[in-house]
Amino acid sequence: MNSLKQPEPTADSGLVQFARTWPSLALPTAFALAVIAVPLLVSASGRAAVRAGPRQVRITERDFSIAAPRVVSPGTVSLRVRNAGPNTHELLVARAGASRMPLRSDGLTVDEEVLEPRIVGTLRPGAPNDVRTLRVHLSPGRYVLFCNMSGHYLGGMRRTLVVR
Ligand SMILES: [Cu+2]
């Protein structure tokens, strides 16, 4: 393997080199770096504790409809998907195209293979009363939320979501 022959670009190789040149200074320098690094780690985790993850967008699935906000702002969001049943439902999120959604030859389901480049997230089938979350990154544009269980898309389980 070629990669084994290449010099290893490790984070501390500069420090090792430095230690060979200035052995008496290497340890104090390493210590100084550690002292600087510790407060950085603490402040980073402190911020993470204040910001409790991505924004949540509530979605409810029913036989046969999907309720969701019409507009959300761009960024990473956590879709909180509740299946209000009584059937099992899945949820796919895809960028809307200029034309209609491609259907499989059965005429009842969206062709996910054709749609694949536009799919940004998928929740596999979930039981009634399940609440699941799907984390997606949404850039500005139009999206389609839909369930692709046989006939559900055509039955009304599709919803346009605008991101702006
Ligand atoms: Cu469904």
pLDDT for 32 beyond 60: no
Is residue 3 domain-resident? no
**107 and 137: one domain?**
yes
- Percent with pLDDT over 70 in the chain: 68
**From the CA of 132, how far away is ligand 1's center (Å)?**
14
Average pLDDT over residues 144-161: 97
pLDDT for 26 beyond 90: no
Is residue 99 domain-resident? yes
**From the CA of 113, how far away is ligand 1's center (Å)?**
19
Is residue 5 domain-resident? no
**From the CA of 84, how far away is ligand 1's center (Å)?**
11
Structure tokens at 95: 């960028």
Is residue 7 domain-resident? no
Cα Rg, the chain, nearest whole Å: 25
**From the CA of 102, how far away is ligand 1's center (Å)?**
17
Task: Tell me the three-class secondary structure of the chain, residue by residue.
Answer: CHHHHCCCCCCCHHHHHHHHHCHHHHHHHHHHHHHHHHHHHHHHHHHHHHCCCCEEEEEEEECCEEECCCEECCEEEEEEEEECCCCCEEEEEEECCCCCCCECCCCCCECHHHHHHHEEEEEEEECCCCEEEEEEEECCEEEEEECCCCCHHHHCCEEEEEEC
Q: Which range is least confidently modeled, 14-18, 67-71, 147-151?
A: 14-18
Which residue range is the domain that position 24 belongs to?
13-50
**43 and 61: one domain?**
no
Predicted confidence band of residue 51 (pLDDT cuts 50, 70, 90): low
Is residue 156 domain-resident? yes
In the prediction, which pLDDT does 110 show?
Answer: 98
Q: Dump pLDDT digits (tens) for 108-125.
A: 999 999 999 999 999 999
State the chain's mean pLDDT as an integer.
82
Task: Return residues with CB closer than 5 A to ligand 1 (ion).
Answer: 89, 147, 149, 152, 157
**141 and 81: one domain?**
yes
In the prediction, which pLDDT does 46 show?
Answer: 47
**From the CA of 50, how far away is ligand 1's center (Å)?**
36
Pick the residue with more confidence: 145 or 27? 145
**From the CA of 71, how far away is ligand 1's center (Å)?**
22
Pick the residue with more confidence: 19 or 146? 146
- Split into its structural domains, the chain has a count of 2
Average pLDDT over residues 96-107: 93
Q: Which of 95, 110, 96, 114 is nearest to 153 (CA)?
A: 110
Average pLDDT over residues 39-56: 59
